[in-house]
Chains A and B, each alone.
Chain A
Amino acid sequence: MRGIYIHVPFCVKKCDYCDFYSLPTSPGFRQSYVQALLREAEAHAGMSFKTLYLGGGTPSLLGAGLLSDLIRGLRHRLNMSDVVEATIEVNPESATPELLGAAGDSGINRVSIGVQSLDDSELKAVGRIHTASQALETVKLVKHLGFKSISADIIIGLPGQTWQTLSRSLETMVDSGIEHISLYCLSLEEGTLLAKNPPADLPSDDMQAELFQRASGFLEVHDYIHYEVSNFALEGHQCRHNLNYWRGGEYLGLGPAAASHLAGRRFRNRADLAAYLEKPAELTEDSEELSPKDKAAEEAMLRLRLLVEGVDVCELMEKFGRCNTLALARRLELMVSQGQLVADGFRYRLPPSRVLTSNAILAEVVEADNPV
């Protein structure tokens, strides 16, 4: 299983909390960017993929024409005939009927909407440029156009957020038929506007934890499966592209700052749009190839984020070899005895009570090579 991720680093305006790579750009610029993406794709000509994910930034800013060009161009250069899931991230303000129409026509079957909140003052507080009603319009439009799945992002810990405002947002979203919800916790990332001027009414970590817990309880009651630490979905609507990340699968990332995992190597393109336009296929940096032992530990760490399926040590042994997995297996077993993990045969999972405090557990797993 291999996925392809395409980074679209444009935004009308950067949100106050965002430290992703994105820049404001002109339409002419966007056209050259699509050309550059296709040139980078050229370097991997013939490679086949099962999932496609257009993320950002704001992919919806490409507009209908460029989006169609991009996907057509990709199909031309890469083997996309087996793609079963193709997602585009959209922001309410740029998710026009034309754009969504073009997306559907190009074979995109999943739309992820940057809703973040359905409370206008919360949206405003972090510099989002759309309103709650715009977001709901977008949901309606996407529904109407018949996409297979709709996902929405929700941020926990927005300034002024309370369980009252959060539960209202969630309720409306559940009612509007959104099948997949990503719950992210707001964090103050270095260099962001929010970190420089944190508002006084920013919920504390403890408050975030409480909001998250209540949100996850609410969603579970409404049949959403908490399948990954931050992700909830109705049965059959889990995001296959993201599942591939957590399962240690391969993926190709196109665009500046995009990460890839191919043939056992993890690498990333430099976050430099100007350089990318010039030499899109020559910006690789931070290349890393872990030893099989570390690789096994990394995959265990990733798979433990999958709360339902967890990690099966036998599968890891098959993949990485017995001797590279033995120490890890012993450590996982020890962690079960300490109550940090739960086991079901050779399958290990995070106990539900530890999801929000899982870092310590995952950190332990990553270092499985060290003597116990």
Chain B
Amino acid sequence: MDNIRNFCIIAHIDHGKSTLADRMLELTGVIHTTDNKQVLDSMALERERGITIKAKAVRMPYRSRNGDDYILNLIDTPGHVDFNYEVSRSLKACEGAILLVDASQGVEAQTIANAYLAIDAGLEIIQVINKIDLPGAMVDECRRQLEDMLGLPGKDALLISAKTGAGVPELLEAIVSRVLPPRGNAAEPLQCLVFDSYYDAYRGVIPHIRVFSGSLRRGDHIMVKSTSRVFDVDEVGYFEPQLTPCEQLTAGEVGYVGATIREVGDIHVGDTIISPEHSETTAIAGSRRSQPMVFCGIYPVNSNDFPKLTLALEKFQLNDSSVSFEKESSAALGHGYRLGFMGMLHMEITIERLKREYGQELIATMPSVLYKVFTSDGEFIMIDNPSRFPAPNAIDRIEEPIIRAQIIVPTDLVGPCMELSESKRGTMVSLEYPDSRRTLLTYDLPLAEIITGYYDKLKSVSRGYASMDYDFAGYRPGDLVKVDVLVKGNQTDALSFISVRDGAIARARVLIHKLRKVIPRHLFEIPLQAAIGGKVIAREDIAPIKKDVLAKCYGGDITRKRKLLEKQKEGKKRMKMVGSVEVPQEAFLLLLKMEDE
């Protein structure tokens, strides 16, 4: 156990984490290629977005300069604030963390957030400044930022280029010499943390584990502490990075366990695995589990696919237990689920993954935050879905979640960023200058503004330079109203939205106008209305269609005629019925798009 080192890498997007991981894998002989193939980012989506979403692990054998053999376990962590939950889970399985900073970019907001998580978890922090081969490298600047912004001894930072490999051998030595070996007793009863898992169609759930005490081998029985369910172990092994079976996993090691766990609900990430003979073994204190902050409805395009969606969500949650879901039904969209996410990126990626990896055709509704609604009779309810808001006269007041955002932006672009934040109902908390060219803005902002495009706009007004991180900062009263949309008199719950009272009419008008463009003409007139309570605040009508006929001379080409009709019919299948009106899917995305303009 003394020769095991468990560590992770903390870095901002594009600061070179995956490249560094690849270089380490090469130096330790785990992979033999030198092409930039980024072994850890195996999901197509991760590659596309250049970010690591799912924590994974890889084991590297390493002979140090003094001739001793070590096992290095690199546990991958996601870099985005939305995935804090996964980060803290991964940190739990490590004793050390490499804090990687891009020499040309400096310390970014998200790096600060994750570095604090690692410091709080008591991990040995190895500061590394990457990309020193770039002409724009500002090594001294970075050292100063590490000291000023994180209170770390920046002068000790190692200098590397993950791209060329320079400095990486020294980094491996530093891991061995500075990161503590795992503690824990192989002779004590089994205690393992499930820090990740995935579902294999043939083998069932494969939990990724860190063994804290005891040992685990094929033929053992294991028990999931939270559910008391018992399984037979048919394989243990580690990641190279592919699954490689081994004799046993003992205290301090990182690996996987195959135990024919068929039901995705039988084990969850964050669970503790123990031995059934020692059922009194305690659970490992849970990693920081934040509450979901952003919610949206997910509905299958074809209502018959609801059972498929259920299964996909169950499997998905196994992979990412931070997504919460519960059944909901919408008059417009049928049966679906209300999903809760850590943030917007988390939401986007989850929906994208459900579509791609699980083959689901989905409609996602406008995201919402969790509102505290105080009713006239003195009670309060938490509401994550605008359509469930009580009638205006039953509401005493509404409070909305506020976040405290830290924004790092080049000083010459601070003006537009402040303007944007003010326009999104932000209040400035402080303004600091961490270095000569950048400003650290701290703003309190309603989360509802953040989830409707604030971050994208921030990126655009700062020409991509701003980085942002945020923390939940409590609830604050807001002058908010629910706006309902009626399509031919039918209230369309999936189009309801919450707005600041002042801007409600303007937003409602834009939405109604856009709806008119998107909903095809029908045989009858379709009034589109937006209303607060019973009061209509915007209205447009879709005139009935008068001509939809094949009245062209196609002679005997019947096949062409039939295909035209079939195509028309195919288009209709992708519509949702609101009363007698066929509403295309894109109508439900309008609210989202509206915010981009």
Cβ of A58 under 8 Å from chain B: no
Contact partner of B568 (CB less than 8 A), chosen from A5, A259, A363, is A363
Say whether, besides A153-B553, A253-B556, A261-B556, A298 and B562 are in contact (CB < 8 Å): yes
Query: Bound state CA distance, A286 and B562, in angstroms?
Result: 13
Query: Bound state CA distance, A208 and B565, in angstroms?
Result: 20
Determine the residue in chain B with the shortest Cβ distance to A213: B546
Contact B547 A212 (CB under 8 A): yes
Chain A residue numbers with a CB within 8 Å of B548 are 356-360
Determine the residue in chain B with the shortest Cβ distance to A230: B551
Q: Which of A36-44, A137-145, A166-174, A183-191 contacts B (4 or more CB under 8 A)?
A: A183-191
Interface positions of A from 237 to 261, Cβ below 8 Å from B: 245, 251, 253, 258-261
Cβ of A362 under 8 Å from chain B: yes
Query: Bound state CA distance, A246 and B137, in angstroms?
Result: 77
Contact A212 B558 (CB under 8 A): no
Contact B556 A210 (CB under 8 A): no
Cβ of A178 under 8 Å from chain B: no
Cβ of B557 under 8 Å from chain A: yes
Best-buried of B549, B552, B566 by chain A (most CB within 10 Å): B549
Interface positions of B from 538 to 556, Cβ below 8 Å from A: 543, 545-553, 555-556
Cβ of A182 under 8 Å from chain B: yes
Contact B568 A55 (CB under 8 A): no
Cβ of B569 under 8 Å from chain A: yes
Cβ of B523 under 8 Å from chain A: yes
Contact B546 A206 (CB under 8 A): yes
Interface size grouping (class) on chain B: 20 to 34
Say whether, besides A363-B568, A363-B569, A366-B565, A356 and B549 are in contact (CB < 8 Å): yes
Query: Bound state CA distance, A206 and B558, in angstroms?
Result: 26
Contact A266 B558 (CB under 8 A): yes
Contact A358 B566 (CB under 8 A): no
Contact B551 A298 (CB under 8 A): no
Contact partner of A184 (CB less than 8 A), chosen from B551, B556, B566, is B551
Contact B557 A259 (CB under 8 A): yes
Contact B566 A366 (CB under 8 A): yes
Query: Bound state CA distance, A219 and B546, in angstroms?
Result: 20
Contact A205 B556 (CB under 8 A): no
Cβ of B36 under 8 Å from chain A: no
Contact B559 A259 (CB under 8 A): yes
Cβ of A317 under 8 Å from chain B: no
Interface positions of A from 176 to 218, Cβ below 8 Å from B: 182-185, 187, 205-206, 208-210, 212
Query: Bound state CA distance, A212 and B559, in angstroms?
Result: 26
Chain A residue numbers with a CB within 8 Å of B559 are 259, 266, 268, 286, 288
Contact A55 B555 (CB under 8 A): yes
Question: What's the nearest-Cβ distance from chain A to residue B491, in Å?
Answer: 24
Chain A residue numbers with a CB within 8 Å of B557 are 259, 268
Question: What's the nearest-Cβ distance from chain B to residue A137, in Å?
Answer: 24
Question: What's the nearest-Cβ distance from chain A to residue B187, in Å?
Answer: 64
Contact partner of B547 (CB less than 8 A), chosen from A55, A205, A253, A260, is A205
Contact A357 B549 (CB under 8 A): yes
Determine the residue in chain B with the shortest Cβ distance to A258: B556
Contact B569 A366 (CB under 8 A): yes
Cβ of A333 under 8 Å from chain B: no
Contact A185 B547 (CB under 8 A): yes
Chain B residue numbers with a CB within 8 Å of A259 are 555-559
Chain B residue numbers with a CB within 8 Å of A184 are 551-553
Best-buried of B546, B547, B565, B572 by chain A (most CB within 10 Å): B547
Query: Bound state CA distance, A360 and B569, in angstroms?
Result: 7
Say whether, besides A205-B546, A206-B547, A366-B569, A187 and B552 are in contact (CB < 8 Å): yes
Chain A residue numbers with a CB within 8 Å of B556 are 5, 245, 251, 253, 258-261
Q: 1/0 per position for B517-552, CB-CB distance to A under 8 A?
A: 000000100000000000000000001011111111
Determine the residue in chain B with the shortest Cβ distance to A268: B557
Query: Bound state CA distance, A259 and B549, in angstroms?
Result: 22
Contact B549 A355 (CB under 8 A): yes
Query: Bound state CA distance, A108 and B558, in angstroms?
Result: 25
Interface positions of A from 286 to 339, Cβ below 8 Å from B: 286, 288, 298, 301-302
Chain B residue numbers with a CB within 8 Å of A268 are 557, 559
Best-buried of B553, B565, B566 by chain A (most CB within 10 Å): B565
Contact A356 B568 (CB under 8 A): no
Cβ of A93 under 8 Å from chain B: no
Best-buried of B556, B565, B566, B568 by chain A (most CB within 10 Å): B556
Chain B residue numbers with a CB within 8 Å of A355 are 549
Query: Bound state CA distance, A273 and B565, in angstroms?
Result: 29
Chain B residue numbers with a CB within 8 Å of A366 are 562, 565-566, 569
Question: What's the nearest-Cβ distance from chain A to residue B83, in Å?
Answer: 43
Cβ of A229 under 8 Å from chain B: yes
Query: Bound state CA distance, A156 and B552, in angstroms?
Result: 10
Question: What's the nearest-Cβ distance from chain A to residue B549, in Å?
Answer: 5
Cβ of A364 under 8 Å from chain B: yes
Query: Bound state CA distance, A209 and B551, in angstroms?
Result: 11
Cβ of A119 under 8 Å from chain B: no
Q: 1/0 per position for A133-167, CB-CB distance to B under 8 A?
A: 00000000000000000000100100000000000
Contact partner of A185 (CB less than 8 A), chosen from B545, B552, B558, is B552
Query: Bound state CA distance, A37 and B550, in angstroms?
Result: 30
Question: What's the nearest-Cβ distance from chain B to residue A348, in Å?
Answer: 17
Chain B residue numbers with a CB within 8 Å of A359 are 548-550, 565, 568
Interface positions of B from 223 to 242, Cβ below 8 Å from A: none
Say whether, besides A362-B565, A363-B565, A366-B565, A182 and B549 are in contact (CB < 8 Å): no
Question: What's the nearest-Cβ distance from chain B to residue A256, in Å?
Answer: 13
Chain B residue numbers with a CB within 8 Å of A182 are 553
Question: What's the nearest-Cβ distance from chain B to residue A224, in Å?
Answer: 16
Determine the residue in chain B with the shortest Cβ distance to A55: B555
A184-B551, A359-B548 are known contacts; what are 18 more A-B pairs with Cβ within 8 Å? A184-B553, A185-B551, A187-B552, A205-B547, A206-B546, A206-B547, A230-B552, A245-B555, A259-B555, A259-B559, A286-B559, A298-B562, A302-B558, A356-B547, A357-B523, A358-B548, A360-B572, A364-B569
Residue pairs across A and B with Cβ atoms less than 8 A apart, 20 shown, are: A55-B555, A182-B553, A183-B551, A184-B552, A206-B543, A209-B546, A230-B552, A245-B558, A259-B555, A266-B559, A286-B559, A288-B559, A355-B549, A357-B545, A357-B547, A358-B550, A360-B568, A362-B550, A366-B562, A366-B569
- Return the 8 tightest CB-CB contacts between A and B, nearest first: A209-B546, A209-B547, A363-B569, A363-B565, A185-B551, A259-B556, A359-B548, A259-B557
Give B contacts to A, CB under 8 Å. Answer: 523, 543, 545-553, 555-559, 562, 565-566, 568-569, 572
